[in-house]
Each structure stands twice: as structure tokens, then as C-alpha cells.
A and B are shown apart, each in its own frame.
Chain A
Amino acid sequence: MEAYFYSRLLSKTGGNKRMSSSKFQWLSSIIFLYLVNQAHGQSRGVPHDLNCITHNLKVWDCSWEALPTINHGTYEICVINSSYPCIRTEKTHFEIPALTFADHEIKINSIHVSGNSVIKFILNERNVSLVPATLQDFNLTADFSTSTLYLKWNDNGSVFPSHSSVIWEIIVQYKEKMEVATVATLNTTLIGKDSVHHWNWTSDIPLECTPHYVKIRYYIDELHFFGQKEWSEWSPLRNISGPPVKENYEVFPRDKVVPVGSNMTFCCVVGEPVLSAQFGKESYSFIRLDRRSVAIKINNITVSPSSGTNVVFTTKSNLYGTVVFAGYPPDIPRKLNCETRDLKEITCSWNAGRPTGFFGPRGTNYILYERFSGRNVTYGRAEEHMNAIHQLIFQMITGQEIYNFTLEANNPLGRSEAVILVNITQRVCPHTPSKLIAKDINSTAIFLYWHLSGNFANINLLCEIEINATYSGQELRNITVRGLETSSYHVYMDKLMPYTMYTFRVRCSSENFWKWSKWSNEKHYLTTEGIPSKGPDIWREWRADGKSVIIYWKPLSLNEANGKILSYNVSYWSEEKTRYLSEIPDSQHKAEIKLDKNDDSDYIISVVAKNSAGSSPPSKITSMEIPNEDIKVEQIVGIGNGILFHWNYDPNMTCDYVIKWCNSTRSEPCLTDWKKFPANSTGALVEYDNFRSGTRYNFFLYGCKNQKYQLLRSILGYTEELAPSVAPNFTVEDTSSDSILVKWEDIPVEDLRGFLRGYLFYFEKGEKGTSKIQGLESGRSDVKVKNITDITQKTLRIVDLQGKTGYHLLLQAYTGGGIGPGKSMYVVTKENSEGLIIAILIPVAVAIFVGVVTSILCYRKREWIKETFYPDIPNPENSKALQFHKSICEGSSTLKTLEMNPCTPNNVEVVETRSVAPKIEEDTEIKSPVTDGPEEGSDAEPENHVVVSYCPPIIEEEIANAGGEEAGSSSQVIYIDIQSMYQPQAKPEEELENHLVGGAGYKPQMHLPVTSTIENIITADDLEKTAGYRPQTNVNAWNLDSPDSPRSIDSNSEIASFGSPCSINSRQFLIPPKDEESPKSSNGGWSFTNFFQNKPND
């Protein structure tokens, strides 16, 4: 019971592991008791740990544990209350058929030497484990080209109840280390009988690279079995080894074709160390798989070149490699189209689409399959070009019009297909028509033949004929013809022009238009001649002498001539007679008829053109014109290459209008060409290829009344005006001091090249050769221009010019086309003598006038001037030098100074050195005229010699008494060169020195420190030699800055003079004081004083 109890517990514990945790303590107690029992039982050698499993749900295999000491004994196993007989065995397990789902008491009686012991177990299906039998028999194969393992096994389902689910677990291991490559599970269902199952797996690594091992186990999930279900044991390992390594086959996979973007592993199996690995031009680091194998892994492989991408492994002694081809599966064929050219063969064409990147044996193969007939055609090794057109030809089946084509494309990476269903009679694109032939019917109709191969007997053909003629352009004519079996076709072509070279070509389609065939070759054909359709265009001109008339005609155009014109027949007639000229050949297009213009007879002249087919209708014109006295010459300018004429509508004009023209410079008869316009027209554009710009044409407009022409207008015209080509020739007719008369000539018409609008005359003052007038720079103020718009004017006088001045002249003519070149000339105006005279006299007169006025003013204001400029000076009586004067003049009521007679003149020479002019303190108001002069004069005129003649009343003794050398040397006072006072020209120093040295007259004794030069000149020795007056005043004490002194004007100038260094005495002689009693002496310069003094006395 204990065993039962424990066994039940065990079975519960082992079979149901879902024991709740709340019973944990209780369970622990039970286990403890169980372990005690176990120890007790073992000690006694009884079975324990009965364990039952089943492999097939039919037989239970039970075993138990027992001490080895009793193993040599015998066990008797009985199922209590069962029909199963008891089993005797010496082993510790037994098999019994599967028992029903209930508790069964198992009694195991251990029979051994030491005694028997019985132990009972309660056995239930729940205590039995279902462990499927190990799968021993399965088939493992490999496809090395695809690196795929194929596993095949039998599920042994016949021994299990059907509908049991089975889980299969497969493990693939590789390398020597038995790394797991993949683990896969597979679910199947048992069907009550043995079934074979398949499983395959593709390895990333080529199977040749390293051994691969496979094992499998399974688990049966039988719903009606309540015992424990367990996985079977793993099957024995099966391995797939690569093929034995042959020479040169060391790199795997070999010549693999893979899609672009694939990841691949390449391995090299060799017995020597691999040094490097290379994919294309890139080197890769390799992975060691095992002792003899290394690999490289390439990701995202790009498209390969034509010969594939090389994978190379290098060892020390050798080089091993393989090639991989990476590309694309075939694209779906694009633009699949099936049509026929002859209803015998069907041509299916398509575009391959995206290139696969494969060539040769790996290129795309195409199969064209027709479903209705079940026939197909193949196309292999397609060339790989983007947008390349491929085609297959399928032979048509008699009577079949509907075709259902499937085009399949395949290459090592896959396949694709396109389908098209066509009614072939509506997909006819005939062959190119050939053998084009033309046969004439008449001058305007022909038959056109051509050949077309193909079986078109059951359809109509639509053909297009292109007709090209040189002068009539292109024409297309469509015709429908009944189809034939490879035959010739012909068509009637009418409405052609005679004598015209035509070019024909043909193309055809089916009446149910699909596509045109290609154009046939061109056929050139010349139609036969017909009679000229109209007479030539004629005109007539009278000779100038009026003795004959010339009839002109124009050649007929090709479509008018309808053939080659052979000759012309000219005839003329009046009321009395008809005359014929001889036949005129085609090369000649005019004829002269002797008629008298003064004869009143009017002739009708007729011209007829002839070719091989006949004569044209006659063209007629009368010989005489209707006179028109009211003709004015007009001017017109054209538009480019033509001239547009307008005229008023005249209902009297019943025939037509004619405009004839000629070059105006040509001699008579004036006829270059003519054009005729309908009678109802009111204008015309005359275009002529030979019209030239700048050429003057005479146009004459004629109207036609009752077949007689009347001149309506005479017009001078240019199609386009140009600027004159030459300059007007001009000459200078006359020049004066202020004007130029220019005269010019007309420009010849040929050179004018337009209607003259005027002249431009430019003139510019300037020297010869310096003119820029040719440039005619507009806006230049120094260039004057005259626009002469009166074209009849031929002269021009230019006035308001300057005398004896050079002028540049330029004359240009201009037309509506622009300004022509200019002719230039240089002219010098004559001298203006009167003006010169006036220019001289006026300043002189003004100067004289000013001088006179000044003199008068000075005279009238002499007292004021004197007071102003020559105030009294200190009495010089204290001067020793003038004592004689006092004694001489004492008692004299009247000054005798200027009384010349009787007088024995003595000479007193006054030497003036302006630069050293003394400044006498008492004489600060003395103003010499010299000071008004330029200061330079002071510098340049160091000395003036003035000799004043006077008459000393008492002479010799006084002078002698005056003692000194001065008296002896100055018996006379003489004024010399009084003008020099006012001419302050500079003198060279040498000259100055000479004067000083040579001078022996009066000299002031003052010595002004003016310049060193002068100071040096006036040395003591010199002064001794010049025995004259010298003031005893200390020069250094002079105030040079007296405000009234002119010196003050420029105080810095030491050479400034404030008056003549005149003798104070001399002023008394020259300017007698008004008030005689006043000892004041008037100051003043030499000259003015002299002037002013003398004037009143005069």
C-alpha cells in the first residue's frame, strides 16, 4: 500500500506537473516519506520507480529500478484483474499491450534467493509517456549546383492513429565544428498510413565548401493519448560532403548565374594556405571555414561584364578561381507586334526591354507559341541591346486568320511572356512595290505598272501614287485595286501636263489600312508634247526715227509651251494688206517691222508660237498708240525688289494695263521688260529680278482701249534709293575777308543713286591739315553746317567769317538713301586792312585822349597835386651847399632861375641813384613820380643823369667860397635825359657803374644801404671823384617807414624809392614856391615838377 501510495503520488507528480504551489508543504512531506520508503525498499531489494513509455500507443514498455543484487533473480509481473497472463522475466522491464484508460494494479513479485517480495503499482495511461521511435531511415541528397539539401523520410504513419499531428524538427550543421546552420520545423498530419515527406534547404555556402550534417526528430501530438508526449530521439547524423576535390575545381560555386543584388559566398578548398581573395578587381578578406577551406562573402553583386566576374583565390604556388554571372531575369517583351507582308508569313517583332546582362549560353531564349494551332518557333541567344528589335517568323496556316501568340522569354534567372491576338488580314504591311513602269496614252495620260509579291487574292489593296513634277509640285493619288497572287498591277493616270518630266512612286497597304509599305523606287517619265496653250506675251516699240516698229515677245513658260517651241510666226496687217515675216527661230524673241509712224495706217501685229504638236493661239497688238498730251513725270520709290504702282480705275480701259520699264541711262528704245495687268486692276507690284538698288528706271504705264494702248503716266523710280556714290564737285568762286562764295555742279544720275534731297555744307575754322570736319561729328560746336534743301541752288555764300583765317569746307549731297561722300576744301579768307587800321588807331586815339585829359586835369589841379604830393620841404638854407644860392638870389624879388639869357650856363649834373634814394626825415612827404612806377624800375634804374641848365648869377667866387671840391667841379647844372625818369628800364650793372664812374656832376651825399652791389659801386673813392652835393644828414636816422612815404607801401623793399634823390636845392630852382617868402620848398619828382613849374610860366 505504501508503494501504491507512493507510486500514485509519483505518477501524479510525474504525470501532472501542474501541482499548485499551495500544496508545496504537503508535497514536501510526501517526498520525504517517499525517500524514506525508497531507502527502506532498496535496502530490502524490491522494484521501485516503475516507468512506462510507448512508441506506438499499442505497447507499453515499462521498466523499474532495482538493486543489482537482485538482478539475478526473477520477476513475475501480473496485471491484477486483467486477462493478461502474468509475465516472468529476469529483466527489469516488461512490455504489455496498452491498457485501457483506467487504473490498473501491477503486481511485481521479486523472486530471489533471499526471499520473495511483492510490490504493487497502480498504472494508468496518464503515467505512460509517448516517445516516438527514433527516425532511422531517411534519405539525404544534395544538389551542389544549387547548394540545396534534399531530405526525404517516411513518417511511419501506419502505426499511429490517423489525424495525429506530427512536428518534425530538422537541424543542419556544418563545418568541422558542427555549427548549426539552420533549424527547421515541419508540421504534418498522419493519415493512418506511411507517408513520405520532403524538405529541402539551400545553403548560403556552397555545399562543396564544407561538410553539412543533418539530423531529425519528431513529436506526435495524439489527441487521444493522455499520457506524457515527448520528442523522439534525434536521428543519426547524416552528412553531405563535397565532391572529391579535383584539379582546378577548388573554388565554389562554379559559373553561377545569380540575380543582380544577390549576396554570395565563394569558397576555396585547397590544401595550401590562401594568401588573398579577389572579386573582380576588389580584394576581400576571407573567412576560414575549416582547415582546407576559406570563403569570402560578397553582398549586393552588381551586373557582370559579358565574360562574367572573376573570383580568384591566390596561394603561394597557384591561382584558383571561378566566375559568377550576375544579371537580370528577362524583361516582359515590349511592343509585341505581329503582322504580315505577303499573307504567307507572320512576322512578330518585339523589344527585349531591360537588358539581362547575359550573353551567349546565358542569354535570353524566346519561344513564340501559337495557341490555336499549337505550333511554336524559337529564337535563341538573343543579343542584348537596349531597345533592340527582335523578330520571329511564323508560317501562316491556311484558312486561319486569327492567331493567338504567346511570346515567352527565359534565361537562367527566370521567364516572362507577352500575348497578342491578331486578325492577320488586318495586319498587312505589303512588301515594297517594284518594277515601276510608265506607258503613255497621250500627252496628258499614262498607264503606270508595278509588281507586288504576296498572296493578296482575298483582299483589296489601297495604293498611293506620288506624282512629282518640277513646276507643278507634288500630288498624291490614292487608288484601290483588287489583290492578286504575286502579280503586276497597273493604274490609269490622267490629268497630267504635256511635255513634263514626272517622277512617280508607289506604296500600298491593305484596304483595311494597317501600314503603308515602303515607297517604291522612283520612276521618271516625260509626257509627250501638246500644242502651246496660249500665245506669247508681246509688246512693241517704235524706233526713234518712227520708221520701224520692233515687236517683242516673251518665251512661253513650260506649262504654256507644252513642248519645245521650235519657231515663231510674225504677221501684221492693216485694212488693206497682210504681210508675213519669215519664220523666226526659238532663240529670237523680237522682230522688226518696217512701218512709218507718220503713216496713219494702224497695223495689227500677230505672233504665234509653234512646237511639234502645233501652233499657239495668236497674240495681237496694234502698232499705233492713242496720244496723250497730259503726261507729267512723276517720281516713285519702290519697296525692296519691287515697285508698287497705283492708278485710278478707268472703265474705258477694256483690254489691260501694261507697265514697261527701262534703265533711264540707257539709250532708246527704252525697253527692258514689261508686264501686263488686268483691265479691272488699280495697282500692281512690279517685281523684277534684275532691278538694282540705286538705279533710276523709267516706268511707263499704258492703258488699253479697244486693243489700242495709250500712255497714261511716265514715272521715274528707284526700287531702293542709295546714298550718292560721289561727292558734288564744288569750287570756291570768291573769297573776301568775311565771306566765301562756293559753287557746285550737279551729280550725274548714275552716281546720284536716288532722288536728290539736298546738300549739306560744313565749314570749320582751322589750320590746314588739322580739320576733323570729315568726321562730321555731330554736335561739334566748331563745325557749322548748312542744309541746302533747294536742290536747284548751286551756289552758297558763307558770311560772317574772319579775315585772313583758314576755313575747311565740305560739301555732301544726300538722297532718300542717305548722305553721300563729301568733297572738302581749305580756303583762307582775305585780310581785313580797314579793321586793322581801326584796331590800331582806336587805341592810339584813346591813349592820346587819356593823356590829354590827364594833362589837363593835372594842370588844373596842379596846386592840389603839389600840396598833396609835394608838400614843403625843410629849408635847405642850412645846407652849406646852397648858401651860394641864397647869396645869389638874395635881394632879388623875382627868381631868375629860368631866365636863360644872359646866362652863362654852368653844368650841374644830378646823378640819381634810385635804389639808394635817401630818405630824408624832413622830406617824408615827397613823392616822386618814380615811386608810381614799377618797383622793378627802382631796381633796374640805379642811376639817372639829369643835367639841368641854369644860370648862376654869381659865380666863381661864391663857388670858390663855397669851398670844397664841389664848387670847383659844379659850375653848371645840366638836366640830361629827362625822359629817363619815366623809363625805368633796367641797365646792366656795368653800364650803371660806368655812369657812376664817368659822371662828375651833382650827387647826393646820402648813402642808402640799398644793395650791396650799388653800395660797392659807390665807394669812397668814387665819391671823391664825383665832386658833388652830399647831404650831411645821417642816413641811418631816416625814418623809412613814414606813413606818408611811398616807401611805406612796401616797407620791406629796401630799394623802394620815394622820390628822386634830387637835390633839395634843385627843387628850389625848378619849382619855385608860390609864396616866395616861404622858405618851404615844394617837393615833387623831377619831371612832373618840371612840367608843372613850367606850365604857369608859359
Chain B
Amino acid sequence: MSQREGNKVDLQSHSSASSFPHLEAKIRQTHSLARLLTSYAEQLLQEYVQHQGDPFGLPSFSPPGLPVPGLNSPAPTRSGLPTLERLQLDAAALNSLSPLLDTICHLQADLNPFACRLLRRLEDASHQSRALGSAVEVVLGVLGAAPGPPGPHPILPESPGVFLVKLLGYRVCGLYHEWVCCTEGDLDQLMQEGLG
């Protein structure tokens, strides 16, 4: 039994009999959205590195994770948290990622004004991140778990230099992918616990 399985959520207890199918559908819908966005996030990352020049596109390229104030990678220790708390973290991170992605989109518009697909993917990712965060919050609300307090607004350094902009974009796209993956896993866990 994994550590996740130790924090089961009883969906029946969190919803009335009539609203349970609705909750179930909502969770499934959110899970589907998270799974879809996971694949989109992979595509975004691939598209992103293609437009940053070498060595970004090289398979060996693996820069250290730049710190983004206000937003970190999903912590390894979060697996010990209850599912709902993890989802609260997911929602907060996804909401924080949306403005970050907007910023990256604007920065990339200066660097790659003709990379229409990349810019569109970044713009879409911003919207989709916000949408997924909201959807998770709705699920949390139905389950009676209030969304966590909003984290500090991520701040990017001023005039960081083009190389740092590229690295930050890479980092933000990576964070987006990580958090969407986590959200998908957490929703999957929620479904296994509550619906299975």
C-alpha cells in the first residue's frame, strides 16, 4: 500500500446521494482535462525548446532548475499529504502558473515574434492552467475542502537578460508540466479512493 492510499477520501460522505453522480462526473471531467493538459504541456515544452536555439533543443540539455519566487516544483514530501491537501497545492500552483505563462508569452513575443504556434500554445497554456486550477477548486469545494490560500505572486527578475528569459521560460514550462502531471495523478488518486 502506497503512502497515498493511506489518506483516502470518502466521496459519499462529502456529497449527498443526488449530487454524487455530479461530483463523480466533475472529478472525471477534471481528471480528463488534467490528462489532456499533460500532453499539451509536453508539446509546449518541445515547442518551446525548438525556438530557443541550441543547446536548448539538444537532448543533453538539462539546466538546473531556476528558482521562481513564489512557485516551486512539487515537493517530494507532498506524497505524504492527504489527497485533498495535495489538490489544494495543485490548484494554487496552477493558478500561479497562469500569469507566469502570460509573462513568458510576452517575453517570447519579443524574441520569437513569428513563432505563432509557440505563442499560441503559451497563451493557451495560461488559460488552461487557470481553467484546471479552477476546476480543481470546484472539486475541492464540493468535497468541502476550501481552496488553499493563494501563494505569493510569482515574480520574475527585472531585465533578466535574454538568456535568463529563455531559462525562465524553460523553467516555467517545466513547472507547468510538473504541476499538471501532479494534478492528474492526484485526481486519479481521488477517483481511486472515492469512486473505486
Q: Which residues of chain A have a CB within 8 Å of any CB of chain B?
A: 248-249, 251, 254-255, 278, 280-281, 304-312, 317-319, 321-323, 359-361, 381, 383
Contacts and interface: CB of A to CB of B under 8 A. Distances in A.
A249 B162 CA distance: 11
A255 B55 contact: no
Given A306-B112, A310-B54, A359-B113, A319 B64 contact: yes
A307 B111 contact: yes
Contacts of B164: 248
8 contacts: A251-B163, A278-B55, A307-B112, A310-B52, A310-B55, A319-B63, A359-B111, A359-B113
Interface in B23-66: 51-56, 58, 63-64
A1033 to B, nearest CB: 122
Contacts of A281: 54-55, 58
B81 interface: no
A311 B52 CA distance: 12
Contacts of A310: 52-56, 163, 166
B114 A359 contact: yes
Contacts of A312: 55, 163
Nearest to A321: B163
B55 to A, nearest CB: 6
Given A254-B161, A323-B163, A361-B110, A307 B52 contact: yes
Nearest to B64: A318
B160 interface: yes
B146 interface: no
B97 to A, nearest CB: 21
B155 interface: no
B111 A306 contact: yes
Given A305-B53, A310-B54, A310-B166, A248 B111 contact: no
A307 B160 CA distance: 15
A280 to B, nearest CB: 5
A309 B53 CA distance: 7
Given A254-B163, A307-B51, A321-B167, 5 more contacts: A254-B161, A281-B55, A318-B64, A323-B162, A359-B110
Contacts of B58: 281
Nearest to A385: B114
Interface centre among A307, A311, A381 (most CB of B within 10 A): A307
Contacts of B64: 317-319
A360 B161 contact: no
A307 B55 contact: no
Contacts of B112: 306-307, 359
A361 B109 CA distance: 10
Interface centre among B111, B115, B157, B166 (most CB of A within 10 A): B111
Nearest to B108: A307
Interface of B: 51-56, 58, 63-64, 109-115, 157, 160-164, 166-167
A308 B164 CA distance: 13
Nearest to A254: B161
Contact of B54 (A248, A280, A322, A359): A280
Given A318-B64, A319-B63, A306 B161 contact: no
B85 to A, nearest CB: 33
Contact of B162 (A255, A381, A383): A255
A359 B54 CA distance: 18
Given A248-B160, A255-B161, A360 B109 contact: yes
A323 B51 contact: no
A308 B54 contact: no
A281 B58 CA distance: 9
Contacts of A361: 110
Nearest to A283: B55
Contact of A307 (B63, B161, B166): B166
A305 B55 CA distance: 13
A79 to B, nearest CB: 69
A322 B55 contact: no
Contacts of A317: 64
A386 to B, nearest CB: 14
Contacts of B161: 248-249, 254-255, 322-323
Nearest to B165: A323
Contacts, number: 74
A322 to B, nearest CB: 5
A305 B113 CA distance: 12
Contacts of B113: 306, 359-360, 381, 383
A281 to B, nearest CB: 4
B12 to A, nearest CB: 50
B160 A308 contact: no
Contacts of B56: 310
Contacts of B162: 254-255, 307-308, 322-323
A242 to B, nearest CB: 15
A309 B56 CA distance: 11
A142 to B, nearest CB: 19
Contact of B53 (A255, A280, A319, A359): A280
Contacts of A308: 53, 111, 162
A538 to B, nearest CB: 73
B163 A306 contact: no
CB-based closest 8 A-B pairs: A360-B110, A281-B54, A323-B162, A321-B163, A307-B111, A319-B63, A255-B162, A323-B163
A308 B110 CA distance: 11
Given A281-B55, A360-B109, A306 B114 contact: yes
Contacts of B52: 307, 310
Nearest to B58: A281
Contacts of A319: 63-64
A251 B160 CA distance: 12
Interface centre among A255, A278, A317 (most CB of B within 10 A): A255
Contacts of B160: 248
Contacts of B157: 248
Nearest to B57: A281
A361 B111 CA distance: 8
Interface centre among B53, B63, B112, B115 (most CB of A within 10 A): B53
B138 to A, nearest CB: 38
B109 to A, nearest CB: 7
Contacts of A359: 110-114
A251 B164 CA distance: 11
A255 B54 CA distance: 16
A648 to B, nearest CB: 81
A359 to B, nearest CB: 5
Contacts of A278: 54-55
A248 B51 CA distance: 21
Contacts of A280: 53-54
A673 B8 CA distance: 100
A320 to B, nearest CB: 8
A324 to B, nearest CB: 9
A307 B115 CA distance: 10
B56 to A, nearest CB: 7
A381 B115 CA distance: 15
Contacts of A381: 113
Nearest to A304: B53
A323 B166 contact: yes
Contacts of A323: 161-163, 166
Contacts of B166: 307, 310, 323
Nearest to B162: A323
Contacts of B110: 359-361
A254 B56 CA distance: 18
A322 B166 CA distance: 10
Contacts of B53: 280, 304-305, 307-310
A306 to B, nearest CB: 5
A312 B63 CA distance: 11
B156 to A, nearest CB: 12
B157 to A, nearest CB: 8
A208 B164 CA distance: 18
A366 B52 CA distance: 28
A197 to B, nearest CB: 35
B167 to A, nearest CB: 8
Contacts of A311: 163
Contacts of B51: 306-307
